[in-house]
Amino acid sequence: MTAKAPLIIFDTTLRDGEQSPGASMTRDEKVRIAKSLERMKVDVIEAGFPIASPGDFEAVEAVARSVRDSTVCALARALERDIDRAGEALKPAASGRVHTFIATSPIHMKAKLHMRPEQVLEQAVSAVKHARGFTDDVEFSPEDAGRSEVDFLCRVIEAVIDAGATTINIPDTVGYSIPQHFGELLRQLLERIPNAHRAVFSVHCHNDLGLAVANSLAAVLSGARQVECTINGLGERAGNAALEEVVMTVRTRQDVFPCDTRLNTNQIVPTSRLVSNITGFPVQPNKAIVGANAFAHESGIHQDGVLKSRETYEIMRAQDVGWSENRIVLGKHSGRNAFRSRLKELGIEFDSEQELNEAFTRFKELADKKHEIYDEDLQALVTDVGLEARDERCRLVSLRVCSETGEIPQASVILNVYGEERSGQASGGGPVDAAFKAIDGILQSHSELQLYSVNAITGGTDAQGEVTVRLQKGGRIVNGQGADTDIVIASVKAYLKALNKLLQPKPRAHPQMGEL
Ligand code: KIV
Ligand code: ZN
């Protein structure tokens, strides 16, 4: 049997994913996610947009230093100063790629860039040539390709391949395309551009009409051999194509696709959880592949069928995408070594013994409250540990809530704020409301609560509740997540995580959509 052509998986969770309102990540969080993507054998990790801010630059540099087995990519507009920053940030990479872009649609060229098509073409070519000064691996994107004229696209792409671009990425920037047309666009480009065989063609689809994955796969059937995607479909506005859906469709339907990825699919669920915990973006229960219900059979007919033969109603095996069988993995008598090695199996490693000790102390506290500790509990527990936690400006010292039938719930809270202990009390409609008001009395955050949701991490009434909180202040949106067997404490942890993000300096807005 002849081996199938490789389908390159380019993950942009750390760049386009981070452009979801409220999903900004710290440098260390990005490194943790990048290591998880590397473990999953993602081919290319787009780590950020170095010109956007010093923080973005440092994050790309840190990812480039930590990742060895995936190519690390940095985004740059088609401007020398952007490309210089990208090239600089990628210096420590074992394998680095510069991804440069400029818009080619009539509306973007006229209304945003105020440039004539000939000027755009010239700038694209000189950007690619400049990027080749840093690396042989240069990707070029004609932004808003989905709404660009095909003749012009062909001219630009032919010219940038001649200038040295090795990957040509076709973005459906505004999620406007439909699968039949997008597949046809790729087919035409590959057929009409004389030097197309000298580059890998890639696609990058947004999900505004819910078609990002369908459009990406239609393009793959037409010959695209790289897909840009994100974990959980995170990304600007309605998000990008979800990595897990693209990869599992191609893997499951090998009868249809002429290519396959090299992905270690059993890392999909742990990585999805890590991204959700870090960004505070919950995964909807009915989300394909990584949603809590993705492999749950509710109807009796289905359950009966699956018990008789799994294939009656299941097209994939849950364990192949990394769902554990809800095994009790650890308990209160488990030692530090068992704890460390189970985390290692889950792909979680700590930077220092101090972090491991901190996590182990939390594990023991949890095991006292909850006898059976599952993988999901461990994953939620370790997200709180480490540098991210050390960056906290305010921390919970203690919380007391009184909730009784016929009485108004009361909360008393003590916080450590910039090293100083401060206390507050409040009453509220319920214990969570009272606790949030008590915190607000201390911090005076003046933020607006946009979302509050609770989800049980595992089954049973002693399960940890995972709470997501979204806050808005002055146009800035942040998310926080917290987990605990006590949902009021989980809520307070989530609230404080979000408030801590608001207390950090505001990251600079990503400039690529507005300016050139
Ligand atoms: O959506 C888009 O066009 C992008 C480009 C920078 C590739 O994210
Ligand atoms: Zn995008």
Nearest CA to ligand 1 atom 5: 143
CA of 182 to the centre of ligand 2 (A): 16
Q: What region does 16 belong to: left with phi over 0, alpha with psi -120 to 50, or beta?
A: alpha
Distance (Å) of CA 412 to CA 47, 417, 439, 457, 510? 42, 16, 9, 27, 40
Nearest CA to ligand 1 atom 8: 16
**Residue 391, pLDDT score:** 65
Instruction: Tell me, using a 6 A CB cutoff, whether residue 99 lines ligand 1.
Output: no
Determine how many CB atoms are found less than 10 A away from the CB of residue 429: 10
CA of 452 to the centre of ligand 2 (A): 28
Cβ(445)–Cβ(469) below 8 Å: no
**Residue 387, pLDDT score:** 43
Among residues 466, 455, 460, 487, the alpha carbon closest in space to that of 293 is found at 455
The C-alpha atoms of residue 15 and residue 94 are separated, in whole angstroms, by: 19
Among residues 249, 237, 232, 105, the alpha carbon closest in space to that of 170 is found at 105
Instruction: Tell me, using a 6 A CB cutoff, whether residue 141 lines ligand 1.
Output: yes
Atom of ligand 1 nearest to the CA of 228: 7
Long-range contacts of 113-122 (CB under 8 A, 24+ apart): 113/516, 115/516, 117/152, 120/156, 121/155, 121/156, 121/159
**Where do runs of H (alpha helix) occur along 350-451?**
353-369, 375-383, 387-390, 431-443
Instruction: Tell me, using a 6 A CB cutoff, whether residue 216 lines ligand 1.
Output: no
CA of 148 to the centre of ligand 2 (A): 15
Nearest CA to ligand 1 atom 2: 173
**Where do runs of H (alpha helix) occur along 193-257?**
212-221, 243-252
Nearest ligand to the CA atom of 49? 1
Reduced to 3 states (helix: H, G, I; strand: E, B; else coil), residue 272 is helix
* Site to substitute for ligand 1 among 206, 216, 240, most atoms within 8 A of C-beta: 206
Nearest ligand to the CA atom of 143? 1
CB-count exposure of residue 343 (10 Å: 0-12, 13-18, 19+): buried
CA of 409 to the centre of ligand 2 (A): 46
Instruction: Tell me, using a 6 A CB cutoff, whether residue 16 lines ligand 1.
Output: yes
- Stated pTM of the model: 0.85
Q: Identity (one letter) of the amino acid at 167? A: T
pLDDT tens, the chain, 516 aa long: 568 999 999 999 999 999 988 888 889 889 999 999 999 999 999 999 999 999 999 999 999 999 999 999 999 999 999 999 999 999 999 999 999 999 999 999 999 999 999 999 999 999 999 999 999 999 999 999 999 999 999 999 999 999 999 999 999 999 999 999 999 999 999 999 999 999 999 999 999 999 999 999 999 999 999 999 999 999 999 999 999 999 999 999 999 999 999 999 999 999 999 999 888 888 988 999 999 889 886 666 776 777 777 788 889 999 999 987 656 678 888 888 888 888 887 777 777 888 888 889 989 988 888 878 888 888 888 766 544 555 678 999 999 999 999 999 999 999 999 999 999 999 999 999 999 999 999 999 999 999 898 888 877 888 888 898 999 998 888 888 888 999 999 999 999 999 998 887 766 555 554 455
Cβ(46)–Cβ(12) below 8 Å: yes
Residue 211 tokens read as 């078609």
CA of 171 to the centre of ligand 1 (A): 6
Q: Phi/psi of residue 109, each to 5°?
A: -65, -40
**Residue 207, pLDDT score:** 98
* Site to substitute for ligand 1 among 15, 16, 228, 516, most atoms within 8 A of C-beta: 16
Reduced to 3 states (helix: H, G, I; strand: E, B; else coil), residue 280 is coil
Q: How far apart are the first and last CA of the chain?
A: 49
Determine how many CB atoms are found less than 10 A away from the CB of residue 315: 9
Cβ(270)–Cβ(344) below 8 Å: no
Atom of ligand 1 nearest to the CA of 141: 7
CA angle 233, 235, 238 (to 5 degrees): 80
**Residue 280, pLDDT score:** 85
Reduced to 3 states (helix: H, G, I; strand: E, B; else coil), residue 223 is coil
Instruction: Tell me, using a 6 A CB cutoff, whether residue 171 lines ligand 1.
Output: yes
Instruction: Tell me, using a 6 A CB cutoff, whether residue 228 lines ligand 1.
Output: no
Instruction: Tell me, using a 6 A CB cutoff, whether residue 143 lines ligand 1.
Output: yes
